[in-house]
């Protein structure tokens, strides 16, 4: 099928035609033209509508067959019965890439199934590839292009997203944390997750791919592509439809056969795909992979202001397959010398008594730097205070953490607690080598996933 440059037709179209968009534009209209204009798409925008002459200030053509200029990509959002005919018109006009937005196809009823088949048959005659149906389509922030009728922000971040639902595009802030290139494969009647992995996985601007799949198919082709992509960048996958009811419903959502969950699990493990159990984990792991240097082993040092916090971390370490680092001789001497005599330090390093004696910066800096310098430590998690400015001037560690992290190529995650955590978290948003996490356990999950990925790259398969 690859006689046409489908990847660039979909992801970097020089010209598009929108078929079946609303007459209105502006808030509430959910008109994809608004998004394209807001994003400054500089390709040619053609609009097809049978009844009006102008939409959002742009001229309108009556039918696809009446288009005069060449078009890379058609976005079709007309009632389902009209779609096979419009796909044929697209083929006759030389269009080879089509997004079908609407619901009501294989996921809906037998009529929908039939329409999806007819649409595919028409596409097959012309070598057209179809993305969808039941999709928001394609986003490429670098190309200032989106086919989505739902509003969303443009961000040039190194994050790719492959999904089977617009939920992840619209909810990107909650679910992923950012996205630049997106393929929502919807029902995946043609362009599927393997194509999407292939296309996004070779894009040099991406450093991580988030994957939402209701169905994983493709057998060896999936395994080959997934492994090739995983060798280059991490793929963090949320496979849904794991439960009996969830799998049944997936069939009526995207027409997916969710499949045996343990087969999916085995395929992910073999191909290096990092699986998450919950949406929040996908968000956390994507952030970790984008921001942190590699975690080259399972040995974690913990710097804590609270014994209780250290114990919570140890419980989480065990649950997620990491280990409390056994420090090399001498590593702990510096912070031990700052602590009261009765304090016997270990890992977690409880620095609070040292803080009381010698101040936050001295204690935190010593413990963090010495931990990171230890060859037996692969990554560090820190518990730090976030109080109001007046107290933070005495008890804040954010500056010393940032400073120390710069000198080491190891991941550091920081959990802030206290009345002013939001402010401290913001100070870290531009930081390269330390990542703030929303809970101690999520911090451990991030480090565990990162260690697992490196382990797979080194020893897997």
The smaller minimum CB distance to its own copies, of residues 164 and 402, is found at: 164
The smaller minimum CB distance to its own copies, of residues 96 and 275, is found at: 275
The smaller minimum CB distance to its own copies, of residues 62 and 111, is found at: 111
Nearest approach in angstroms of CB 287 to its own copies is: 15
Nearest approach in angstroms of CB 51 to its own copies is: 19
The smaller minimum CB distance to its own copies, of residues 165 and 366, is found at: 165
Mark 190-226 as b/e (b = at least 16 C-beta within 10 Å): bbbbbbbbbbbbebeebbbbbbbbbbbebeeebbebb
The smaller minimum CB distance to its own copies, of residues 336 and 442, is found at: 442
Q: How far is CA 181 from the centre of its chain?
A: 10
Nearest approach in angstroms of CB 335 to its own copies is: 15
Find out whether 59 and 131 touch, Cβ atoms under 8 Å: no
The smaller minimum CB distance to its own copies, of residues 93 and 445, is found at: 445
Find out whether 283 and 445 touch, Cβ atoms under 8 Å: no
List Cβ neighbours of 80 (8 Å cut-off, separation of 6 or more): 102, 104, 105, 112, 115, 133
Nearest approach in angstroms of CB 445 to its own copies is: 10
Nearest approach in angstroms of CB 135 to its own copies is: 11
Nearest approach in angstroms of CB 204 to its own copies is: 28
Nearest approach in angstroms of CB 229 to its own copies is: 22
Specify which residues 412 forms β-bridges with.
380, 434
List Cβ neighbours of 114 (8 Å cut-off, separation of 6 or more): none
The length of the chain is: 461
The smaller minimum CB distance to its own copies, of residues 73 and 316, is found at: 316
Q: Return the structure tokens found at 81.
A: 């019965």
The smaller minimum CB distance to its own copies, of residues 373 and 425, is found at: 425
Gyration radius of the chain over CA positions: 26
CA distance 142 to 343: 54
Q: Return the structure tokens found at 185.
A: 């494969």
Nearest approach in angstroms of CB 158 to its own copies is: 20
**Torsion sign across C-alpha atoms 358, 360, 364, 366:** negative
**Torsion sign across C-alpha atoms 64, 68, 71, 75:** negative
CA distance 149 to 164: 16
The smaller minimum CB distance to its own copies, of residues 253 and 291, is found at: 253
The smaller minimum CB distance to its own copies, of residues 38 and 62, is found at: 38
List Cβ neighbours of 153 (8 Å cut-off, separation of 6 or more): none
Nearest approach in angstroms of CB 224 to its own copies is: 26
Mark 322-345 as b/e (b = at least 16 C-beta within 10 Å): bebbebeeebbebbbebbeeeeeb
**E strand spans, 128-272:** 129-131, 138-140, 145-146, 159-163, 181-184, 208-213, 235-239
Nearest approach in angstroms of CB 27 to its own copies is: 3
The smaller minimum CB distance to its own copies, of residues 92 and 243, is found at: 243
The smaller minimum CB distance to its own copies, of residues 240 and 371, is found at: 240
**E strand spans, 156-242:** 159-163, 181-184, 208-213, 235-239
Burial of 418: CB neighbours in 10 Å, binned 0-12, 13-18, 19+: middle
The CB density around residue 23, as the number of other CB atoms within 10 Å, is 13
Nearest approach in angstroms of CB 29 to its own copies is: 8
CA distance 118 to 130: 12
């Amino acid at each position: 099928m690859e006689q046409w440059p489908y990847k660039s037709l979909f992801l970097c179209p020089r010209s598009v035609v929108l078929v079946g968009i609303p007459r209105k534009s502006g808030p509430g209209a959910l008109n994809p033209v608004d998004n394209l204009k807001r994003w400054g798409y500089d390709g040619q925008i053609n609009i097809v509508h049978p009844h009006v002459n102008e939409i959002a200030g742009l001229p309108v053509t009556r039918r696809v067959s009446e288009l005069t200029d060449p078009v890379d990509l058609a976005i079709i959002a007309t009632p389902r019965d009209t779609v096979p005919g419009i796909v044929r018109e697209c083929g006759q006009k030389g269009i080879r890439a089509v997004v079908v937005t609407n619901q009501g196809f294989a996921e809906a009823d037998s009529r929908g199934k039939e329409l999806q088949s007819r649409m595919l048959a028409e596409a097959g005659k012309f070598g057209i590839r179809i993305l969808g149906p039941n999709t928001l389509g394609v986003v490429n922030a670098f190309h200032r292009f989106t086919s989505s009728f739902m509003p969303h922000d443009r961000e040039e971040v190194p994050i790719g997203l492959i999904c089977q639902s617009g939920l992840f595009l619209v909810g990107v802030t909650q679910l992923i944390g950012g996205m630049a290139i997106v393929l929502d494969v919807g029902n995946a009647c043609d362009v599927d997750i393997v194509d999407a992995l292939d296309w996004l996985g070779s894009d040099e601007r991406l450093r991580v791919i988030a994957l939402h799949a209701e169905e994983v198919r493709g057998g060896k082709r999936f395994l080959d592509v997934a492994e090739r992509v995983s060798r280059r960048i991490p793929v963090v996958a949320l496979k849904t439809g794991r439960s009996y009811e969830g799998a049944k419903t997936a069939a009526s959502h995207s027409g997916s056969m969710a499949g045996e969950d343990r087969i999916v699990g085995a395929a992910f493990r073999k191909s290096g795909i990092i699986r998450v159990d919950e949406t929040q984990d996908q968000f956390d792991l994507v952030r970790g992979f984008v921001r942190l240097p590699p975690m080259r082993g399972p040995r974690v040092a913990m710097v804590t202001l609270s014994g209780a916090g250290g114990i919570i971390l140890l419980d989480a370490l065990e649950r997620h397959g990491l280990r409390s680092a056994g420090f090399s001789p001498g590593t702990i001497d510096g912070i031990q010398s700052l602590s009261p005599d009765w304090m016997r330090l270990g890992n977690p390093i409880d620095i609070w008594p040292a803080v009381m004696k010698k101040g936050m910066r001295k204690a935190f800096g010593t413990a963090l730097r010495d931990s990171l310098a230890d060859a037996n430590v692969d990554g560090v998690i820190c518990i730090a205070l976030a109080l109001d400015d007046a107290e933070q001037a005495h008890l804040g560690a954010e500056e010393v953490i940032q400073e120390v992290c710069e000198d080491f190529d190891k991941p550091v995650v920081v959990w802030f607690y206290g009345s002013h955590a939001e402010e401290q978290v913001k100070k870290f948003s531009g930081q390269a080598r330390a990542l703030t996490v929303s809970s101690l356990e999520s911090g451990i999950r991030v480090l565990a996933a990162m260690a697992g990925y490196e382990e797979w790259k080194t020893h897997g398969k």
